[in-house]
Amino acid sequence: MDFMIRAATPEDCKDISRMIMELAVYENMPDQVKISHEVLEQDGFCKNPFFHCLVAEVAEQYRTTEGYTVIGYALFFYTYSTWKGRSVYMEDLYVMPEFRGEFPGKGVGTALMSKVAQVGKEQQCVRLQFSVLNWNTPSLDFYKAKGAQDLTDSEGWHVLRFDGEALDKLAQMAPKN
């Protein structure tokens, strides 16, 4: 095998940060990335980490022109369903373009995702959830081929968010007790 999947270390945060930005560029939202690799180090490697990460690393001879050997990552965390219990949520799955498809020992994305599934199963999780943008056809196809169901379609779920000013306003109305 020409690549391996392993748990991320604090030293990997620079590479993870780089790839987070690459993924944001692909999703047409690069200006939305506000955190640095230092924040990732703090939040991912503290006592009760806020996320977990797996990285895909290739052998030296496959390193990129800029010298990178860490060429993919999956960032995930545990969530909870009041109906079914422990779940795993895969927040990001990314493989650098030159390592997709035809790359020797191909299937980096599949390997990363399978490892997330395995880690989840070890923690007794009953399901793996993630979100995909509706225009992202390559990803939609990739996931559907693995048996993923689109719950927005089948059950009508919408993702809502409070942030920035709306969150501040909300927080200001909290009871004092």
Partner 1 sequence: MANFILRKAEPRDVPDILRLIKELAKFEEMEEQVVLTETELLQDGFGEQPFYHCIMAEVPEDRRSSDGHTVVGFAMYYFTYDPWIGKMLYLEDFYVMKEYRGMAVHTQYIHSTAVKSRCSGMHFIVAEWNKPSIDFYKRRGASDLSHEEGWRLFEIDKEYLLKMSAK
Q: Active-site positions? A: 143
- Binders of partner 1 among 76-115, rule CB under 8 A? 77-86, 89, 91-92, 110-111, 113-114
Around Cβ 24, how many Cβ atoms within 10 Å? 16
- Would you count residue 34 as binding partner 1 (CB under 8 A)? yes
Q: Which is nearer to partner 1, 16 or 58 (CB)?
A: 16
Minimum gap (Å) between residue 29 Cβ and partner 1: 8
Stretch that binds partner 1, among 3-11, 61-69, 98-106, 119-127 (CB under 8 A): 119-127
Q: How far is CA 157 from CA 111, 131, 133, 151, 154, in A?
A: 28, 11, 14, 6, 8
Number of chain positions touching partner 1 (CB under 8 A): 76
CA distance 22 to 97: 10
Minimum gap (Å) between residue 61 Cβ and partner 1: 25
Q: Which is nearer to partner 1, 60 or 163 (CB)?
A: 163
Instruction: Report the Cα 99 to chain-centroid distance in Å.
Output: 17
Around Cβ 29, how many Cβ atoms within 10 Å? 11
CA distance 17 to 149: 29
* Token representation of residue 28: 């047409």
- Would you count residue 22 as binding partner 1 (CB under 8 A)? no
- Binders of partner 1 among 120-139, rule CB under 8 A? 120-121, 125-135
- Return the amino acid letter for 59: A
Q: What is the dihedral of CA 171, 172, 173, 177, to 10 degrees?
A: 90
- Binders of partner 1 among 147-176, rule CB under 8 A? 147-153, 155-167, 169-175
- Binders of partner 1 among 40-69, rule CB under 8 A? 40, 43, 48, 50-51
Minimum gap (Å) between residue 37 Cβ and partner 1: 11
